[in-house]
Protein backbone atom coordinates (compact mmCIF):
# COMPACT_ATOMS: atom_id res chain seq x y z
CA UNK A 1 0.00 0.00 0.00
CA UNK A 2 1.30 3.44 -1.02
CA UNK A 3 0.39 6.53 1.01
CA UNK A 4 0.38 9.86 -0.87
CA UNK A 5 0.60 12.77 1.58
CA UNK A 6 -0.19 16.43 1.01
CA UNK A 7 -1.11 19.41 3.15
CA UNK A 8 -0.81 22.52 0.97
CA UNK A 9 -2.18 23.75 -2.34
CA UNK A 10 1.13 23.40 -4.24
CA UNK A 11 1.47 19.80 -3.07
CA UNK A 12 -2.01 18.91 -4.33
CA UNK A 13 -1.33 20.58 -7.68
CA UNK A 14 1.91 18.65 -8.16
CA UNK A 15 0.68 15.33 -6.74
CA UNK A 16 -2.72 15.04 -8.40
CA UNK A 17 -1.12 13.71 -11.63
CA UNK A 18 0.62 11.01 -9.52
CA UNK A 19 -2.65 10.06 -7.80
CA UNK A 20 -4.36 10.03 -11.18
CA UNK A 21 -1.72 7.65 -12.53
CA UNK A 22 -1.98 5.35 -9.49
CA UNK A 23 -5.75 5.14 -9.98
CA UNK A 24 -5.34 4.55 -13.71
CA UNK A 25 -2.99 1.62 -13.06
CA UNK A 26 -5.14 0.35 -10.18
CA UNK A 27 -2.22 0.34 -7.79
CA UNK A 28 -3.23 0.10 -4.14
CA UNK A 29 -2.87 3.50 -2.50
CA UNK A 30 -4.44 5.87 -0.03
CA UNK A 31 -4.24 9.64 0.30
CA UNK A 32 -3.56 11.74 3.38
CA UNK A 33 -4.40 15.39 3.96
CA UNK A 34 -2.48 16.83 6.90
CA UNK A 35 -4.56 19.99 7.29
CA UNK A 36 -1.58 22.33 7.01
CA UNK A 37 -3.55 24.68 4.72
CA UNK A 38 -7.25 24.04 5.26
CA UNK A 39 -8.36 27.25 3.55
CA UNK A 40 -6.28 26.78 0.39
CA UNK A 41 -7.21 23.09 0.28
CA UNK A 42 -10.77 24.12 -0.58
CA UNK A 43 -9.50 25.76 -3.77
CA UNK A 44 -8.00 22.59 -5.27
CA UNK A 45 -9.72 19.73 -3.45
CA UNK A 46 -11.63 18.76 -6.60
CA UNK A 47 -8.32 17.77 -8.25
CA UNK A 48 -7.98 14.81 -5.89
CA UNK A 49 -10.41 12.27 -4.43
CA UNK A 50 -11.59 12.82 -0.83
CA UNK A 51 -8.64 11.89 1.41
CA UNK A 52 -8.66 8.46 3.00
CA UNK A 53 -6.95 9.92 6.07
CA UNK A 54 -7.12 13.50 7.37
CA UNK A 55 -5.22 15.22 10.17
CA UNK A 56 -7.30 18.39 9.78
CA UNK A 57 -8.84 17.77 13.20
CA UNK A 58 -5.40 18.26 14.72
CA UNK A 59 -5.60 21.90 13.60
CA UNK A 60 -9.17 22.54 14.79
CA UNK A 61 -9.56 25.37 17.26
CA UNK A 62 -6.13 26.63 16.28
CA UNK A 63 -4.88 30.16 16.20
CA UNK A 64 -5.23 31.84 12.82
CA UNK A 65 -1.54 31.25 12.10
CA UNK A 66 0.42 28.35 13.57
CA UNK A 67 4.14 28.76 14.00
CA UNK A 68 6.34 26.48 11.93
CA UNK A 69 7.10 24.48 15.05
CA UNK A 70 3.44 24.09 16.02
CA UNK A 71 2.49 22.84 12.56
CA UNK A 72 5.46 20.47 12.49
CA UNK A 73 4.68 18.97 15.90
CA UNK A 74 0.97 18.49 15.14
CA UNK A 75 1.71 16.65 11.90
CA UNK A 76 4.45 14.55 13.54
CA UNK A 77 2.17 13.44 16.39
CA UNK A 78 -0.69 12.55 14.04
CA UNK A 79 1.71 10.71 11.70
CA UNK A 80 3.17 8.72 14.57
CA UNK A 81 -0.31 7.56 15.58
CA UNK A 82 -1.11 6.63 11.97
CA UNK A 83 2.07 4.59 11.47
CA UNK A 84 1.51 2.83 14.79
CA UNK A 85 -1.82 1.38 13.60
CA UNK A 86 -1.27 1.09 9.82
CA UNK A 87 1.53 -0.36 7.71
CA UNK A 88 2.47 1.22 4.39
CA UNK A 89 5.05 0.08 1.85
CA UNK A 90 5.93 3.65 0.88
CA UNK A 91 5.00 7.24 1.61
CA UNK A 92 5.06 9.76 -1.25
CA UNK A 93 5.82 13.36 -0.29
CA UNK A 94 6.37 16.36 -2.53
CA UNK A 95 8.68 19.32 -2.37
CA UNK A 96 9.77 21.10 0.76
CA UNK A 97 6.80 21.89 2.99
CA UNK A 98 6.35 21.28 6.70
CA UNK A 99 4.00 18.45 5.70
CA UNK A 100 6.62 16.81 3.49
CA UNK A 101 9.39 16.96 6.10
CA UNK A 102 7.21 15.90 9.05
CA UNK A 103 5.81 12.90 7.14
CA UNK A 104 9.25 11.94 5.86
CA UNK A 105 10.80 12.06 9.32
CA UNK A 106 8.02 10.03 10.94
CA UNK A 107 8.06 7.52 8.07
CA UNK A 108 11.81 7.11 8.48
CA UNK A 109 11.46 6.56 12.23
CA UNK A 110 8.81 3.90 11.59
CA UNK A 111 10.68 2.01 8.89
CA UNK A 112 8.48 3.16 6.00
CA UNK A 113 10.20 3.93 2.69
CA UNK A 114 9.98 7.49 1.40
CA UNK A 115 9.51 8.63 -2.19
CA UNK A 116 10.43 12.30 -2.67
CA UNK A 117 8.78 14.01 -5.63
CA UNK A 118 10.59 17.14 -6.88
CA UNK A 119 13.79 16.23 -5.06
CA UNK A 120 17.14 17.95 -5.43
CA UNK A 121 16.23 21.63 -5.68
CA UNK A 122 18.94 23.66 -3.97
CA UNK A 123 20.08 27.21 -3.35
CA UNK A 124 22.72 26.02 -0.83
CA UNK A 125 21.59 28.86 1.44
CA UNK A 126 19.52 27.62 4.42
CA UNK A 127 18.03 31.10 4.88
CA UNK A 128 16.77 31.39 1.27
CA UNK A 129 14.14 30.12 0.92
CA UNK A 130 13.37 29.63 4.61
CA UNK A 131 12.61 26.99 5.88
CA UNK A 132 12.17 25.14 2.59
CA UNK A 133 15.86 24.78 1.76
CA UNK A 134 16.54 22.81 4.94
CA UNK A 135 13.33 20.78 4.64
CA UNK A 136 14.07 19.45 1.17
CA UNK A 137 17.72 18.78 1.95
CA UNK A 138 16.75 16.60 4.93
CA UNK A 139 14.06 14.76 2.96
CA UNK A 140 16.56 13.95 0.22
CA UNK A 141 18.84 12.20 2.71
CA UNK A 142 15.98 10.17 4.23
CA UNK A 143 14.30 9.19 0.95
CA UNK A 144 14.54 5.74 -0.61
CA UNK A 145 13.60 7.21 -4.01
CA UNK A 146 14.57 10.72 -5.11
CA UNK A 147 12.52 11.81 -8.12
CA UNK A 148 14.37 14.82 -9.53
CA UNK A 149 12.71 17.28 -11.95
CA UNK A 150 15.85 18.30 -13.88
CA UNK A 151 19.39 17.25 -14.69
CA UNK A 152 20.81 19.83 -12.28
CA UNK A 153 18.62 18.53 -9.46
CA UNK A 154 20.00 15.05 -10.15
CA UNK A 155 23.53 16.37 -9.91
CA UNK A 156 22.74 18.06 -6.59
CA UNK A 157 21.41 14.81 -5.18
CA UNK A 158 24.24 12.62 -6.45
CA UNK A 159 26.73 15.10 -5.04
CA UNK A 160 25.29 14.76 -1.55
CA UNK A 161 25.04 10.96 -1.63
CA UNK A 162 21.27 10.60 -2.04
CA UNK A 163 19.86 7.21 -3.03
CA UNK A 164 18.00 6.09 -6.16
CA UNK A 165 18.16 9.41 -7.99
CA UNK A 166 16.01 9.48 -11.12
CA UNK A 167 15.40 12.38 -13.50
CA UNK A 168 11.68 12.06 -14.20
CA UNK A 169 10.73 15.65 -14.99
CA UNK A 170 8.50 17.93 -12.99
CA UNK A 171 4.86 17.01 -12.35
CA UNK A 172 3.92 20.69 -12.75
CA UNK A 173 4.18 20.12 -16.51
CA UNK A 174 1.72 17.23 -16.22
CA UNK A 175 -0.59 19.37 -14.09
CA UNK A 176 -0.53 22.47 -16.31
CA UNK A 177 -1.05 20.41 -19.48
CA UNK A 178 -3.99 18.52 -17.94
CA UNK A 179 -5.66 21.64 -16.57
CA UNK A 180 -5.19 23.65 -19.75
CA UNK A 181 -6.87 20.88 -21.74
CA UNK A 182 -9.69 20.36 -19.26
CA UNK A 183 -10.46 24.04 -18.70
CA UNK A 184 -9.56 25.29 -22.20
CA UNK A 185 -6.98 27.86 -21.06
CA UNK A 186 -5.28 29.45 -24.09
CA UNK A 187 -1.90 31.19 -23.99
CA UNK A 188 -2.21 34.82 -25.11
CA UNK A 189 -0.39 38.13 -24.61
CA UNK A 190 -2.16 41.07 -23.00
CA UNK A 191 -0.86 44.09 -21.08
CA UNK A 192 -1.67 42.47 -17.73
CA UNK A 193 1.18 41.88 -15.29
CA UNK A 194 0.27 39.49 -12.44
CA UNK A 195 2.21 40.18 -9.24
CA UNK A 196 2.59 37.92 -6.21
CA UNK A 197 4.67 38.85 -3.15
CA UNK A 198 4.54 36.85 0.06
CA UNK A 199 7.79 35.11 1.02
CA UNK A 200 9.03 35.35 4.61
CA UNK A 201 12.45 36.49 3.41
CA UNK A 202 10.78 39.55 1.86
CA UNK A 203 8.64 40.60 4.82
CA UNK A 204 11.40 42.90 6.13
CA UNK A 205 11.53 44.81 2.82
CA UNK A 206 7.86 44.47 1.79
CA UNK A 207 7.19 48.20 2.24
CA UNK A 208 10.07 49.06 -0.08
CA UNK A 209 8.88 46.45 -2.60
CA UNK A 210 5.38 47.95 -2.63
CA UNK A 211 6.85 51.43 -3.17
CA UNK A 212 8.90 50.08 -6.06
CA UNK A 213 5.83 48.33 -7.50
CA UNK A 214 3.87 51.59 -7.36
CA UNK A 215 6.66 53.38 -9.25
CA UNK A 216 6.70 50.63 -11.90
CA UNK A 217 2.96 51.08 -12.46
CA UNK A 218 3.18 54.88 -12.57
CA UNK A 219 6.05 54.76 -15.08
CA UNK A 220 4.32 52.24 -17.37
CA UNK A 221 0.74 53.45 -17.83
CA UNK A 222 0.10 51.02 -20.68
CA UNK A 223 0.51 48.07 -18.31
CA UNK A 224 -2.12 46.82 -15.88
CA UNK A 225 -0.49 45.41 -12.77
CA UNK A 226 -2.70 42.99 -10.84
CA UNK A 227 -1.79 42.04 -7.28
CA UNK A 228 -3.83 39.32 -5.58
CA UNK A 229 -2.77 40.41 -2.12
CA UNK A 230 -1.58 37.74 0.29
CA UNK A 231 -3.61 37.45 3.53
CA UNK A 232 -0.51 37.58 5.74
CA UNK A 233 -0.68 40.79 7.83
CA UNK A 234 3.02 41.43 7.15
CA UNK A 235 2.02 41.89 3.50
CA UNK A 236 -1.43 43.47 3.82
CA UNK A 237 -0.31 46.29 6.11
CA UNK A 238 1.56 47.88 3.18
CA UNK A 239 -1.54 48.09 0.96
CA UNK A 240 -1.94 51.91 1.40
CA UNK A 241 1.41 52.44 -0.36
CA UNK A 242 -0.10 51.38 -3.69
CA UNK A 243 -1.69 54.43 -5.33
CA UNK A 244 -1.15 54.09 -9.11
CA UNK A 245 -4.41 53.88 -11.08
CA UNK A 246 -3.16 50.99 -13.21
CA UNK A 247 -2.19 48.88 -10.18
CA UNK A 248 -5.19 46.80 -9.18
CA UNK A 249 -5.19 45.07 -5.79
CA UNK A 250 -7.62 42.15 -5.62
CA UNK A 251 -8.39 39.43 -3.08
CA UNK A 252 -6.42 36.16 -3.32
CA UNK A 253 -7.49 34.10 -6.35
CA UNK A 254 -7.86 30.37 -6.83
CA UNK A 255 -5.28 28.33 -8.68
CA UNK A 256 -7.22 28.04 -11.94
CA UNK A 257 -7.78 31.79 -12.08
CA UNK A 258 -4.09 32.38 -11.39
CA UNK A 259 -3.22 29.96 -14.20
CA UNK A 260 -5.49 31.94 -16.54
CA UNK A 261 -3.82 35.19 -15.45
CA UNK A 262 -0.37 33.76 -16.12
CA UNK A 263 -1.45 32.39 -19.51
CA UNK A 264 -2.51 35.84 -20.76
CA UNK A 265 0.20 37.88 -18.98
CA UNK A 266 2.62 40.26 -20.68
CA UNK A 267 5.12 39.21 -18.02
CA UNK A 268 5.06 38.29 -14.33
CA UNK A 269 6.54 39.70 -11.11
CA UNK A 270 6.77 37.21 -8.26
CA UNK A 271 8.77 35.82 -5.36
CA UNK A 272 7.05 32.43 -5.69
CA UNK A 273 8.97 29.29 -6.56
CA UNK A 274 6.13 27.43 -8.27
CA UNK A 275 5.16 30.37 -10.47
CA UNK A 276 8.66 30.30 -11.97
CA UNK A 277 7.92 26.79 -13.24
CA UNK A 278 4.47 27.73 -14.52
CA UNK A 279 5.98 30.65 -16.43
CA UNK A 280 8.37 28.17 -18.06
CA UNK A 281 5.40 25.99 -19.04
CA UNK A 282 3.60 28.99 -20.54
CA UNK A 283 6.67 30.71 -22.09
CA UNK A 284 6.27 33.86 -19.99
CA UNK A 285 9.02 36.09 -18.65
CA UNK A 286 9.24 36.54 -14.89
CA UNK A 287 11.04 39.00 -12.64
CA UNK A 288 12.02 36.87 -9.64
CA UNK A 289 11.87 39.07 -6.54
CA UNK A 290 14.46 37.08 -4.63
CA UNK A 291 18.21 37.04 -4.13
CA UNK A 292 18.56 33.43 -5.25
CA UNK A 293 16.49 30.68 -6.81
CA UNK A 294 16.45 26.91 -6.62
CA UNK A 295 15.18 26.88 -10.20
CA UNK A 296 18.10 28.39 -12.15
CA UNK A 297 16.91 26.58 -15.27
CA UNK A 298 14.23 29.28 -15.71
CA UNK A 299 16.97 31.90 -15.86
CA UNK A 300 19.13 29.83 -18.21
CA UNK A 301 16.30 29.43 -20.71
CA UNK A 302 15.93 33.22 -20.84
CA UNK A 303 12.57 33.53 -19.10
CA UNK A 304 13.63 34.47 -15.57
CA UNK A 305 15.69 37.24 -14.03
CA UNK A 306 16.71 37.56 -10.38
CA UNK A 307 16.05 41.15 -9.31
CA UNK A 308 16.21 41.09 -5.51
CA UNK A 309 14.26 44.17 -4.40
CA UNK A 310 14.91 46.22 -7.57
CA UNK A 311 12.15 46.13 -10.17
CA UNK A 312 12.49 49.34 -12.18
CA UNK A 313 15.87 48.60 -13.83
CA UNK A 314 14.52 45.35 -15.29
CA UNK A 315 11.13 46.33 -16.68
CA UNK A 316 12.43 46.91 -20.22
CA UNK A 317 13.86 43.39 -20.27
CA UNK A 318 10.56 41.94 -19.08
CA UNK A 319 8.47 43.92 -21.57
CA UNK A 320 10.32 42.52 -24.58
CA UNK A 321 8.56 39.45 -25.98
CA UNK A 322 10.05 36.12 -24.95
CA UNK A 323 10.00 34.97 -28.55
CA UNK A 324 9.13 31.57 -29.91
CA UNK A 325 8.01 29.00 -27.36
CA UNK A 326 10.91 26.76 -26.48
CA UNK A 327 11.35 23.40 -24.87
CA UNK A 328 11.70 23.89 -21.14
CA UNK A 329 13.90 21.80 -18.83
CA UNK A 330 11.11 20.33 -16.69
CA UNK A 331 10.14 17.41 -18.91
CA UNK A 332 7.40 16.51 -21.37
CA UNK A 333 4.39 16.01 -19.11
CA UNK A 334 5.01 12.33 -18.31
CA UNK A 335 6.67 12.71 -14.92
CA UNK A 336 3.80 11.09 -13.01
CA UNK A 337 3.86 8.09 -15.33
CA UNK A 338 7.59 7.59 -14.73
CA UNK A 339 7.27 8.00 -10.96
CA UNK A 340 4.48 5.46 -10.65
CA UNK A 341 6.20 2.97 -12.96
CA UNK A 342 9.45 3.11 -10.95
CA UNK A 343 7.63 2.86 -7.63
CA UNK A 344 5.43 -0.05 -8.64
CA UNK A 345 8.34 -2.04 -10.10
CA UNK A 346 10.53 -1.42 -7.06
CA UNK A 347 7.82 -2.44 -4.61
CA UNK A 348 6.96 -5.56 -6.60
CA UNK A 349 10.62 -6.66 -6.54
CA UNK A 350 10.77 -6.11 -2.79
CA UNK A 351 7.89 -8.53 -2.14
Residues catalogued as catalytic: 198
3-state SS record for the chain:
CEEEEECCHHHHHHHHHHHHHHHHCCCCEEEEECCCCHHHHHHHHHHCCCCCEECHHHHCCCCCCCCHHHHHHHHHHHHHHHHHHCCCCEEEEECCCHHHHHHHHHHHHCCCEEEEECCCCCCCCCCCCCCHHHHHHHHHHHCCEEEECCHHHHHHHHHCCCCCEEECCCHHHHHHHHHHHHHCCCCCCCCEEEEECCCHHHHHHHHHHHHHHHHHHHHCCCCEEEEECCCCHHHHCCHHHCCCCCEEEECCCCHHHHHHHHHCCCCEEECCCHHHHHHHHHCCCEEECCCCCCCHHHHHCCCEEECCCCCHHHHHHHHCCCCCCCCCCCCCCCHHHHHHHHHHHHHHHHC
Q: For residue 192, which phi and psi values (nearest 5 degrees)?
A: -80, 140
Amino acid sequence: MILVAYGTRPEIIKLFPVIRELRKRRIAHETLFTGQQTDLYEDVKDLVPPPDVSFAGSFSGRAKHNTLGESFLKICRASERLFARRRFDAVVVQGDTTTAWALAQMAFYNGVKIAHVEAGLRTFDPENPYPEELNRTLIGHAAEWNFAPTKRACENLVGCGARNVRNVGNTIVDAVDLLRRRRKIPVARSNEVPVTLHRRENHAIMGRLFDELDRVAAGNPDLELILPIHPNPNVRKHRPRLKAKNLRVIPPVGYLEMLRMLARARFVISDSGGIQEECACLNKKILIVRETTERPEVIEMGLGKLVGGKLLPHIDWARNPSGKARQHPFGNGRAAERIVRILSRSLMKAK
